[in-house]
């Protein structure tokens, strides 16, 4: 696992002054990777590092010689640590690189962002136990959790081709739905469109086909974390998901942040994996002392909504929920990697593992409208008088995340925005 070193020092400051401002998502202690090009051009996308409100061209520094983010992600842990140290030293106050590197900056507002890497495969898991319990109670009051839930990470294979970066707009999905009292299904636009607040874990170094990744080695195969909105058509899902799981209800859109927050940056914000008293402990292949001690991430997660009427009235987005990933996830990212490969499945650099909806135990920590409105029975009343049971055309959903602890500099995950079109 990544260790805390000089790149995390609270005393460290950057010559990019905006990065030193309290509350900045991208101080010098963060240094996330993304792909960008100047707005309005058809240039090839380049690898950049976010610093304050700027982006540093990593290729321009000479520290890498390829624009291929997936190749960078495949580097071994030692090489990645050395790259992080070199970037940190070059951006630090008093750096000899300041004059040369200052010409390699572009303001984030002047940049077009792409998905942070080539995403070959996408697996969405179901690690949020409070979400699983809440949704289970809605549909199976006598058995909210299936018998396998506490024994292994549950997941399904998603669709990578419809994953887009923050700012994504998409048409309301259409499909078959069936109400309980109807004799047959009907076809049309989803009336129960929802968001899902998730983290995305990106694979760095892959594994060969037939060679499982042990729980002790799993962290060495993780590159970083991003915010993820796995949009869901609940009415389509309810009719289609038996017996093989979600299909058209999920594959129409998934939105991710443009920034990959590395596991190295998250080192000061690790948390222990805990199990409620009486719950089974993981089977040996999913269990390790270090994973128990610091396998989870202490990340605050926020959901906001911005409706068309709010935009027209000049109102800011309104918070729907606020929670924490560390207390929401039943399985760690390392356990997802290990379970995914235990049968010999080969992961590749850039593969994306979704955490599943990360809801907390309280109502104001729900990670979806399905939970927040109790299946649509209790509408959310917004400050301007509008009500929502599920998303309406023109609604923009915003996810934000950040880490903060005493003795460490706050770092952010940026944000994910997506808008529903008619």
Q: Give 250-281 pLDDT, tens digit per residue.
A: 999 999 999 999 999 999 999 999 889 999 99
Do 178 and 97 sit in the same domain of this protein? no
Element (H, E) at 37: strand 33-38
Residue 155 structure tokens:
């997941």
Domain boundary among 112, 133, 151: 112
Cα separation, 419 vs 393, whole angstroms: 8
What does pTM read for this prediction?
A: 0.96
Do 174 and 83 sit in the same domain of this protein? no
Q: Is residue 117 part of a domain?
A: no
Residue range 307-356, pLDDT digits in tens: 999 999 999 999 999 999 998 999 999 999 999 999 999 999 999 999 99
Q: Alpha helix locations (H) across 241-343?
A: 289-294, 308-312, 325-328, 333-341
Q: Is residue 1 part of a domain?
A: no
Domain boundary among 52, 80, 112: 112
Q: Is residue 359 part of a domain?
A: yes
Which residues are known catalytic residues? 131
| C-alpha distance from residue 350 to each of 33, 100, 130, 200, 223 (Å) | 13, 31, 28, 11, 9
Do 232 and 105 sit in the same domain of this protein? no
Domain boundary among 112, 147, 181: 112
Contact indicator for 29, 310 with CB cutoff of 8 Å: no
Q: Is residue 32 part of a domain?
A: yes
Do 140 and 197 sit in the same domain of this protein? yes
Q: Which residues have CB under 8 Å from 17's CB, separation 6+?
A: 52
Provide the pLDDT for residue 141.
85
For residues 123-145, average pLDDT: 91
Residue range 161-184, pLDDT digits in tens: 999 999 999 999 999 999 999 999
Do 225 and 355 sit in the same domain of this protein? yes
Pairing of strands 174-177, 105-107: unpaired
Instruction: Give backbone dihedrals phi and psi of 220, rounded to 5 degrees, phi first.
Output: -70, -10
Do 166 and 216 sit in the same domain of this protein? yes
Give the domain CATH number at 73: 2.30.30.230
Domain count, the chain: 2
Do 310 and 170 sit in the same domain of this protein? yes
Provide the pLDDT for residue 138.
86
Do 11 and 126 sit in the same domain of this protein? no
Do 126 and 105 sit in the same domain of this protein? no
Q: Percent helix, strand, coil in the chain (nearest 5)? A: 25, 30, 50
Cα separation, 196 vs 303, whole angstroms: 10
Range of the domain at 55: 6-112
Cα separation, 51 vs 15, whole angstroms: 10
Instruction: Give backbone dihedrals phi and psi of 35, rounded to 5 degrees, phi first.
Output: -120, 135
Q: Does the CA dihedral 225-88-19-110 come out positive or negative?
A: negative
Do 138 and 105 sit in the same domain of this protein? no
Do 128 and 91 sit in the same domain of this protein? no
Determine how many CB atoms are found less than 10 A away from the CB of residue 306. 18
For residues 143-155, average pLDDT: 94
Residue by residue, DSSP assigns 89-126 as HHHBTT-TTHHHHGGGEEEGGGEEEE-SS----EEEE-
- Specify the DSSP class assigned to residue 162: G
Q: Is residue 140 part of a domain?
A: yes
Contact indicator for 145, 375 with CB cutoff of 8 Å: no
Do 243 and 357 sit in the same domain of this protein? yes
Averaged pLDDT score across all residues of the chain? 96
């Amino acid at each position: 696992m990544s260790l805390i070193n000089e790149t995390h020092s609270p005393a460290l400051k950057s010559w990019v002054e905006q990065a030193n401002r309290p509350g900045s998502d991208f101080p010098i202690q963060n240094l996330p990777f993304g792909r960008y090009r100047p707005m309005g051009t058809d240039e090839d996308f380049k690898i950049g590092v976010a610093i304050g409100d700027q982006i540093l061209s990593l290729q321009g520094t000479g520290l890498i010689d390829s624009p291929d983010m997936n190749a960078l992600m495949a580097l071994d842990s030692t090489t990645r640590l050395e790259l992080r140290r070199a970037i940190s030293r070059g951006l630090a106050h008093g750096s000899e690189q300041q004059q040369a590197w200052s010409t390699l900056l572009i303001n984030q507002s002047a940049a077009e962002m792409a998905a942070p890497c080539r995403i070959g495969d996408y697996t969405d898991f179901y690690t949020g136990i409070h979400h699983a319990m809440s949704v289970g109670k809605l549909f199976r009051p006598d058995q909210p959790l299936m018998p396998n839930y506490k024994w292994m990470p549950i997941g399904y294979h998603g669709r990578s081709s419809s994953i887009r970066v923050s700012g994504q707009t998409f048409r309301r999905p259409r499909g078959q739905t069936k109400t309980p009292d109807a004799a047959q299904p009907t076809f049309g636009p989803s009336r129960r469109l929802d968001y899902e607040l998730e983290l995305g874990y990106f694979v760095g170094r892959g594994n060969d086909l037939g060679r499982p990744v042990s729980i002790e080695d799993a962290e060495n195969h993780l590159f970083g974390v991003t915010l993820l909105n796995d949009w869901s058509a609940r009415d389509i899902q309810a009719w289609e998901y038996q017996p093989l799981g979600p299909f058209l209800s999920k594959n129409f859109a998934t939105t991710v942040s443009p920034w990959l927050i590395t596991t190295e940056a998250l080192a000061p914000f690790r948390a222990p994996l805990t199990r409620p008293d009486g719950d089974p402990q993981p089977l040996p292949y999913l269990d390790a002392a270090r994973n128990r001690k610091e396998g989870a991430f202490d990340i605050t997660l926020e959901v906001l909504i911005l409706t068309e009427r709010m935009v027209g009235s000049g109102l800011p987005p309104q918070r729907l929920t606020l929670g924490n990933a560390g207390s929401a996830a039943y399985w760690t990212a390392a356990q997802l990697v290990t379970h995914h490969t235990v049968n010999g499945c080969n992961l590749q650099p850039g593969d994306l593992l979704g955490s599943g909806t990360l809801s907390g135990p309280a109502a104001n920590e729900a990670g979806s409208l399905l939970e927040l409105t109790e299946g649509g029975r209790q509408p959310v009343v917004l400050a301007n008088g509008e009500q929502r049971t599920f998303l309406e055309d023109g609604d923009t959903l915003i996810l934000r995340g950040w880490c903060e602890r005493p003795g460490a500099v706050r770092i952010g995950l940026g944000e994910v925005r997506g808008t529903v079109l008619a």
